[in-house]
Each structure stands twice: as C-alpha cells, then as structure tokens.
Structure 1
C-alpha cells in the first residue's frame, strides 16, 4: 500500500516541482513520478536533518515531510537543469 502512496504523492510533488522549474512541457507522467520519489530521497538525505522530519519515503506524511520532499524534487530538477544547460532556470 505504501508503494502506491509513494507513486501518487511522488507524482504530484514531481509535477508541482516541474511547474515551478518550468520543465513541465518536457516531462511526462512517468518522469514526474520519478522526480518526486528521487527528489524525496534527495530531500531526506540533505534537508530532513535540518527540519527534523522524515520524507514520504520514510512513511512520514506530515506537512513538513511533504515540504522536504517537494524541496528535494526542486533541488533534483535544478541539478538536472544545471548539468543539461549549464544554468538553472
């Protein structure tokens, strides 16, 4: 059951991050899910200790964990944009 929740919430967070980073036209639904889940892992590794919370991958579905997962997805898209284009949009 948690796997399905990861896919749904990860997809939503990846989609929102792609809208903020203006890469939504280049990504499909599958890439949004991947960005959301991998971004949550990245956020959990980098940002969760700062906020003192978990992420969606750690079975913590609080507002702060969703924020950390969203910020991780934004960071992931920024890193991808930096490597692809040499600048962050």
Structure 2
C-alpha cells in the first residue's frame, strides 16, 4: 500500500485510537492527528515487517488493524513521555 494511503489510514486510525484511549492529550487535537498519521505509517511498516514479503497491501481490514495498532502504540508512548514531564 502506498505512502498516501497510510496517511489516510492514519487519520482514521488516529481518531479510533483516541476513541479507544480517551483523555486529555498533552498536545491537543492537532498533535493527536499527527500521531495518528505517524501511527498509520508505523503500523504499515510494522505489518510489512511481521508478514515479510507478502506485506500489508491494499485497503483491507488487516491494513486498518495495523494502522490502529501503530496509532495506539505511538499515542501511549507520547502520553507516557510527555505526561511524566508535566508531573
């Protein structure tokens, strides 16, 4: 799947990750959207790495799951990193 597709998936996956992990994020909605995009890209890379040569291709449920997983991982990491600095 192409880079632009992972960005679109990331936007949607970021919104779902925010729904799964509600609460106030340190950076607001714009940072959460950017984390979602990065999470979609990260999830695409992670899925392609796990599945090897077949990779994650096209718009499929599995591609979407990997984008959400990547977004959740980055959102959790972001909250742990920046919420600990506030305290």
* Fold shared per TM-score above 0.5: yes
The equivalent of 1:49 in structure 2 is 49
Q: TM-score, normalised by structure 1?
A: 0.65
Q: Is the 8 A contact 2:13 2:36 kept in 1?
A: yes
Query: Over alpha carbons, which structure has the higher Rg?
Result: 2
Specify every segment of 5 or more residues in structure 1 that has no aligned partner in the other structure, as ranges.
Answer: none
Specify every segment of 5 or more residues in structure 2 that has no aligned partner in the other structure, as ranges.
Answer: none
The equivalent of 2:78 in structure 1 is 80
Q: Which moved more, 1:76-85 or 1:32-41?
A: 32-41
CA distance in 2, matches of 1:63, 1:85: 32
CA distance in 2, matches of 1:65, 1:45: 10
Q: Is the 8 A contact 2:8 2:37 kept in 1?
A: no
Residue 76 of structure 1: how far off its partner (Å) = 0.5
Q: How does 1:3-82 map to 2 (within 5 A)?
A: 3=4, 8-23=8-23, 26=25, 27-28=28-29, 30-50=30-50, 52=51, 53-54=55-56, 60-82=58-80
Aligned residue for 1:71, secondary structure, equals helix
Higher RCO structure, 1 or 2 (CA under 8 Å, sep 6+): 2
Q: TM-score, normalised by structure 2?
A: 0.66
